[in-house]
Structure 1
């Protein structure tokens, strides 16, 4: 190894180094021997150092793509709860929003699928540039700055939900009773023009469209989209003040949209109307309501009150079964109260054990129970006074403006669509703009579901009046589609408004107090105009109707046959009159119409007639006009006051109608 690293000069002298030489006396005997080992040691150190560097560089630069790997290399999975995600990097440059194409633009294209959205995505402040422009364009023309206006809003985030809502919105816009708006929210990338084309919406659709999606919606997080729904509704509320918000409740809508809307809308006082699946056919009548009616949609409550007489087990069970089959998709299911007699038969007891109200699955812990059963304690038969008081005390409206009661006799059997008709009629005749403007709501005592077969005194059969012919439309309408107004109330199946129920309570309270304090009772109050085949409280309802000039709305003959059937084949007289009328009245059941008759066909043109287009009847049957009805009411009120006595001292101002009924009982205390 040593010779490998020697120079040529050293190699030439190699042999000489091994030859014997004479040592000079001037040199130390060990000096030559020491120099050679030092030279070799330096070379060896240099060799070791070079080898060390070579090994270090080889190890340092080992390749990493060889098959053998370090098995301890960490694996990266989803972050655990509490781990912070890295801040998003710079966003790619996006194309500016395109303007919606004209309806006569390119042919319709299939809507693109929704992009998959991660929980970690774009999350920056929200901008609504298209929404700002569209709201500004209609702010003045639709009265957006006023709290009360004619604006109605449809909103959707899911494209399938939008397709369900758009036909309903266009149909409502065609009625020209409200300014109808449609707002698209959420994270879809479809532009508004393409949305219209895909759903076949052209210029004939009277709907104002708003793009309420935030900037960069397609890559936004779910939380950002939820927040965008609340902020978009905030801007819409400030610039439009919608009277109602209609959304899809079929199950297709986005969760983030529903969460944002249902959180924010109540804060603004905007009623949210959730449309069920197939709303364009099941709730087609909703498109005929104006913004004022829709504003009252979720404020209305209806209670159902049934007063069961002894021996009506079969009739009561049949009625309860028909109620369970009802379609209550038009609002909250009514609360049900059943007044039971002292003696309840076994069949009724067993049926009520398993009866579920509201109808639906009972295994849910959150399923509310809205059934009240009241069982009478006394054995004795009720008197007229006791029966009236017990029945009227069974309901009291929490808010007389919006709380109403549906009174049903056990002989009634209802159609599955009865609640739709009631909701439609209540919204139109009590809360619509024309109803408030023409004071219809103050005249309406109740809404009947059937047409009685006899007059109130049961002296002769009742025949509904013919349609009211007007010069401008002499051939319009049909007698079978003609609803009418009658001063006579109904106890078979009728809804009474909360305000009139309060007045009826007050009248009965004052009347009973007067009769107990006055002996003998004047003949004016003892005379019975209502047959004993009807319950005693109906006599008091007739007094109220005659004194105030109120009327009850009755449906057309065709509509009544498809809303309620009154089974008189098992008729039982009211308990207070049962001994007097034992089996005195027996009739066949009124035949019901075909269950397949479309709901809209029951109304003739599909719309409810205004009151001034309906025939008007006095309590005993003759057709009259509104002026004559008012004169008859004034005359009856004066007779009422004279029967009470002491009214001569009242000033004209004291005779003004009062809800306290003090104007009828001749006292100056309110």
Structure 2
């Protein structure tokens, strides 16, 4: 039978209404009731609008055109209904299961960043608050322009803003090299804080699985409570370093955008102590130094501990000032009310010898972790700029902990970082002219040399950061040298000859052990005191540095020899080897021909230079 006949036969067996009258036996096409028809048309229209809005607002994964556009599954009817409810319902008490509808695609697209490995080049900026996003996005873009790291930005939390609108509001265009991740959960607008806190924790867990960021950068001062709690739970589990930006960080910490992922990974690990060895009759200078330290910016790090070693005789002005001196300063948050200041007062009145002064100086500090703990030695006759601590940390993270520093072993040959440029050579007889920096691309010398940081074979004494492992080597070297001297009948010239001015031997501008020596020393002291002072800059750190704040590689910096003349790196190594051999023979009593008794090099030790002491 035909389909038409099957349909008619079926109709003949159906009960009829309307007084028992049967419909005409002639076949008529079925009609959809008008009301049902209108419902279907309306449903199709709504679905079409939702699909159009969704496709039109699909977030782009990143500004790089080579990266594919994410493809998300269409929203379910339930999700669309809940979004409508969210707009009309001000109560935020939804606490159902958590789904991340937009996160999977962007995470799967970053496999080329080697995020599955613990050590990589990924850095994550994360925010839930739009205020925080407004602070972080410009910094993230600036960091991305450096092309040192893969810079990611993750949006978590309750906001319903779409990613393209977020970019538009914050002036983000295709020049911003950032990889974006939408880590907001479903039904975020009506979720309870407890659900959002859990979503932050789980979202960061998923991100960590695919990315393993070397550091997470947050603007906690403008963040939501649930976001902060979720981040803390994640960090406790993952041990990922977190950089918490203070207020106005976009200006004071803009230099951090020049660091790579390896440097940022060490942001919270390094510790810097400050040591000041006061001299008699230096009350005014010491007070000025301490006031400049109080006015400096320490938002980039934990507050440093200050140790001040006082002479036996303390003048009344110094004593009165120290009684009211607070460290950390009142403007720096100190929830534990811990005092980060130690005062040491010498017992003996007599003038110390060179050896005693050196020993006392080196015993003033010992690194708790040689690779991370360092000491800043300041003369009481200096004054620091407001940005000095940020500058130190910037140089330290770049030249000691960055990827380049690790690959080229810069830390092996880096003794410390000086904050001053000497005016005279170490012998105090000639004016010191630092070597000028030659731009690597200036092959023909058309640009000429420019002022820039440089390397010097000799340490300075007024303001210098000494690396922890090098401090240990220096400590060990002095100890072994003093032992070796007891075994020698005649002091060899390599240690007895005084090649530098009496102005420098014990790390002070005017060392106490030479205070009454002769008219020549007093003349040097007078010249130092009368030297013109440099005005302290009030600019931001990046504005004050050359090369737009970018630090040249350590191997590109010019080098000055011990005497103060510019020297080729190859000649420097040759001179260093010659001096090492002469020292081993004359002081260490080593047989250079047979090599008997010589020891292998060890980090933090100088035992390889001595064959006569253990």
Query: TM (normalized to structure 2)?
Result: 0.82
2: distance between equivalents of 1:531 and 1:270?
49
Alignment of 1:379 with 2:325, yes or no, is no
Shift of 1:513: 1.4
Q: Describe the SS at the equivalent of 1:339.
A: strand
Following TM superposition, by how much is the alpha carbon of 1:473 offset from its aligned partner in structure 2, in angstroms?
5.7
Q: Does 1:661 align with 2:606?
A: yes
The corresponding residue for 1:580 is: 517
CA contact (8 A) 1:387 1:537 kept: no
Correspondence 1:451 to 2:421? yes
Match of 2:253 among 283, 286, 305: 283
Structure 1 residue runs without a partner (length 5+)? 1-92, 105-113, 539-571
Structure 1 pair 443/461, CA: closer, same or farther in 2 (3 Å)?
same
Match of 1:501 among 471, 487, 492: 471
Following the alignment from structure 1 to structure 2, what is the Cα–Cα distance between the partners of residues 154 and 580? Answer: 59
Residue in structure 2 matched with residue 135 of structure 1 by the alignment? 107
Secondary structure at the aligned position of 1:306 is classed as: strand
Aligned match of 1:272:
242
Checking the alignment, whether the CA contact within 8 Å between 2:559 and 2:569 is kept in structure 1 is yes
Once the two structures are superposed, residues 275-332 of structure 1 have per-residue CA deviations (whole angstroms, 9 ceiling, x without a partner) of 2223222211111110011001100110011000111111100000000000111111
Question: How far off its partner does 1:128 sit?
Answer: 1.6
Map of 1:303 onto structure 2: 273
> How big is the shift at 1:119?
8.5
Taking the TM superposition and a 5 Å limit, the aligned residue runs for 1:254-403 are 254-360=224-330, 366-403=336-373
How far the C-alpha of 1:137 sits from its partner, in A, is 1.2
Partner of 1:121: 93
For the residues of structure 2 that align with 1:182 and 1:492, how far apart are their CA atoms? Answer: 42
Quickly say closer, same or farther: Cα 1:146–1:164, change in 2 above 3 A: same
Alpha-carbon distance, 1:485 to partner = 0.7
2:537–2:544: 8 Å Cα contact kept in structure 1? no
605, 610, 622: which one aligns with 2:553: 610
Taking structure 1 as reference, are residues 233 and 375 closer, same or farther at Cα in structure 2, changes over 3 Å only? same
Contact 1:456/1:620 (<8 A) preserved = yes
Q: Does structure 1 residue 629 correspond to structure 2 residue 572?
A: yes
Secondary structure of the corresponding residue to residue 396 of structure 1: coil
8 Å Cα contact 2:590/2:597 also seen in 1: no
Change (3 A) 1:265 1:636: same
Contact 1:142 1:179 in 2 (8 A): yes
2:438 counterpart residue number: 468
Contact 1:98 1:191 in 2 (8 A): no
Distance 1:650 1:353, change over 3 A: farther
Which residue of the other structure, out of 591, 601, 604, is the alignment partner of 2:533?
A: 591
Partner of 1:50: none
Mapped partners of 1:600, 1:537: distance in 2: 30
Q: C-alpha distance in 1, partners of 2:374/2:446? A: 33
| Partner-residue secondary structure (3-state), 1:171 | helix
Q: Alpha-carbon deviations, 1:98-134, whole Å to 9, x = none?
A: 4644679xxxxxxxxx999989711122222311221
Kindly tell me: are residues 463 and 364 of structure 1, through their superposed partners in 2, closer, same or farther at Cα, counting changes over 3 Å? closer
Alignment check: 8 A CA contact 1:248 1:276 kept: yes
How far residue 652 of structure 1 moved from its aligned partner, in angstroms, is: 8.7
Given candidates 394, 404, 414, the residue that maps to 1:434 is 404
CA positional deviation for 1:359: 1.3
Q: Is the Cα–Cα contact under 8 Å of residues 373 and 468 in structure 2 kept in the other structure?
A: yes
User: Would you say the 8 A contact 1:478–1:604 is kept in 2?
Assistant: no
Structure-1 separation of matches of 2:310 and 2:446 = 47
| Displacement of 1:594 | 5.5
Residues 474, 175 of structure 1: CA spacing in aligned structure 2 closer, same or farther, 3 A cutoff?
A: farther
Of residues 542, 547, 553, the one that matches 1:600 is 542
- In 2: Cα distance, 1:513 partner to 1:119 partner: 77
CA distance in structure 1 between the aligned counterparts of 2:314 and 2:444, rounded to whole angstroms: 55
In the alignment, the residues of structure 2 paired with residue 461 and residue 299 of structure 1 have an alpha-carbon distance, to the nearest angstrom, of 39
Match of 2:125 among 146, 150, 154: 154
| Contact 1:168–1:280 (CA under 8 A) maintained in structure 2 | yes
Counterpart of 1:208?
179
- The ranges of structure 1 where at least 4 consecutive aligned residues each deviate by more than 6 angstroms after the TM superposition are 114-120, 362-365, 475-478
Pair 117,630 (structure 1): closer, same or farther in 2 beyond 3 Å: farther
Counterpart secondary structure, 1:436: helix
Alignment of 1:220-231 (within 5 A): 220-231=191-202
Alignment check: 8 A CA contact 1:135 1:236 kept: yes
Aligned partners of 1:507 and 1:218: how far apart in 2? 65
Deviation at 1:414, TM superposition (A): 0.6
Deviations 1:414-449 (A, max 9, x none): 100101110110000001111111121211111111
Please give the alpha-carbon distance, in whole angstroms, between the structure 1 residues aligned to 2:152 and 2:339. 37
Task: Pick closer, same or farther for the CA change 1:371–1:653 going to 2, 3 Å.
Answer: same
Equivalent residue of 1:663, what SS? helix
**Measured at CA, do residues 596 and 362 of structure 1 come closer, stay the same or move farther in structure 2, by a change above 3 Å?**
closer
How many angstroms does 1:596 deviate by? 3.5
Aligned residue number for residue 647 of structure 1: 591
SS of match in other structure, 1:189: coil
CA contact (8 A) 1:101 1:194 kept: no
Partner of 2:41: none
Residue 584 of structure 1 and its aligned partner are, at CA, apart by 3.1
Counterparts of 1:347 and 1:119, CA distance in 2: 64
Size of the aligned set, in residue pairs, is 533
523-532 or 503-512: which moved more? 523-532
Structure 1 residues 117, 426: CA separation in 2 closer, same or farther (over 3 Å shift)? farther
**SS at the partner of 1:347?**
helix
The equivalent of 1:638 in structure 2 is 581
Q: Which residue of 1 aligns with 2:10?
A: none
* Higher CA-based Rg: 1
Distance 1:353 1:118, change over 3 A: farther
How much has 1:478 moved relative to structure 2?
A: 7.2
